[in-house]
Amino acid sequence: MRPILLQGHERALTQVKFSKEGDLLFSVSKDHTVCAWYSANGERFGTYKGHQGALWTVDVDPTTTLLASGGADNTIRLWEVRTGRLLKTWEFSTSIKRVEFSEDGRQLLGVTEKRMNQLSTVIVYDIKQDIEAEQDDEPALRILVDELPKVTVAGFSYLNKYIITGHEDGSVTQYDAKTGEELHNSPSHEDGMQVTDLQWSADRTYFITSSKDKTAKLHASDSLDVLKTYTTDTPLNSAAITPDPVQYVILGGGQAAMDVTTTSARQGKFEARFYHKVFEEEIGRVRGHFGPLNYVAVDPTGKCYASGGEDGYEVEREKEQGIRF
């Protein structure tokens, strides 16, 4: 298998996302642009320009008509995927760390950072799935995260029942997605080690979190019970679950960006690690990056996966199908 290297960004990538059918790949980077790529051949479809700051997050709705991005310019922007037209800008007082569409695409969630006396919030917008429609200015729901440490990642569970958030102290919280009420908080990762990523299984009944404590954990959406733990030897930035029938999880990480210059590529552990989802056992690694992996995403059809690195490369690979056991 020969990976496709995508070099559309000038700075470190922060997130990559596949469309629901897996044919388009969206990437955001600290260089203020969103890039869209055809996953089949690595052809760049285009870019979405307009943000004034580093971008932290991107998501595409299930119909691949709307694209949401958020970043350090304190805005969430909604784009039309096909034309690159900016449809809506929501402004906030702090930067946006995460956006995610709900499973049906009717709601959009955003996470604002806690900074300068501003509390971390999770905001939810109702999205009209029409490119001509005027989107609401006011959020449908605003969850103020007061008592808990700041939120780093968040997502909608199955049927928009819960909003699950990951926190700076390594805990995971479950909120009611309708009322915003806190239901359950579970300290799942080591104390003080922030949750760096949260990705869903195909049916969103369980999710995987990665953390700086060098582990990734599979949680049940309902109970927040830890189902599986994958232990590695490096701080993790991202974790993804492969769709059935392949029972893998892919973890990405590496040393913090500031320490990278002092380590060689081999020591840096800039590899995508494959673990067996059920047996919690490492089964292989794939090299290719010169810097830590900031995000790994799996094509929902299971054909390939993409990893975005601190080195500004985005690497897309055909994943071998089937399990050899």
Site residues (CB under 8 A) for other proteins?
A: 1-8, 19, 21, 23-24, 37-38, 41-49, 63-64, 82-84, 233, 248, 266, 271, 274, 276, 281-288, 315, 317, 319-320, 323-325
User: From the CB of 111, what's the least distance to other proteins, in Å?
Assistant: 27
User: From the CB of 92, what's the least distance to other proteins, in Å?
Assistant: 25
CB atoms within 10 A of CB 184: 14
Residues 155, 105, 123: CA angle, nearest 5 degrees: 45
User: From the CB of 82, what's the least distance to other proteins, in Å?
Assistant: 6
The nearer residue to other proteins, 91 or 130, going by C-beta atoms, is: 130
State the Cα–Cα distance between residues 239 and 213, nearest whole angstrom: 13
| The token pair that represents 272 in the structure block | 């995508």
Let me know: does 110 contact 122? Beta carbons within 8 Å: yes
User: From the CB of 314, what's the least distance to other proteins, in Å?
Assistant: 10
Nearest to 103 by CA among 168, 164, 160, 34: 160
User: From the CB of 301, what's the least distance to other proteins, in Å?
Assistant: 9
The nearer residue to other proteins, 19 or 121, going by C-beta atoms, is: 19
The nearer residue to other proteins, 84 or 180, going by C-beta atoms, is: 84
The nearer residue to other proteins, 132 or 322, going by C-beta atoms, is: 322
The nearer residue to other proteins, 142 or 285, going by C-beta atoms, is: 285
User: From the CB of 234, what's the least distance to other proteins, in Å?
Assistant: 10
b/e burial code for range 50-69 (CB count within 10 A of at least 16 → b): bbeebbbbbbbbbebbbbbb
Let me know: does 76 contact 70? Beta carbons within 8 Å: yes
The nearer residue to other proteins, 64 or 199, going by C-beta atoms, is: 64
Let me know if 171 is exposed, middle or buried by CB neighbors in 10 A (0-12, 13-18, 19+): buried
Single-letter code of the amino acid located at 67 = L
| The token pair that represents 163 in the structure block | 């909003």
State the Cα–Cα distance between residues 242 and 252, nearest whole angstrom: 14
User: From the CB of 263, what's the least distance to other proteins, in Å?
Assistant: 14
The nearer residue to other proteins, 148 or 246, going by C-beta atoms, is: 246
In three-state secondary structure terms, 29 is: strand
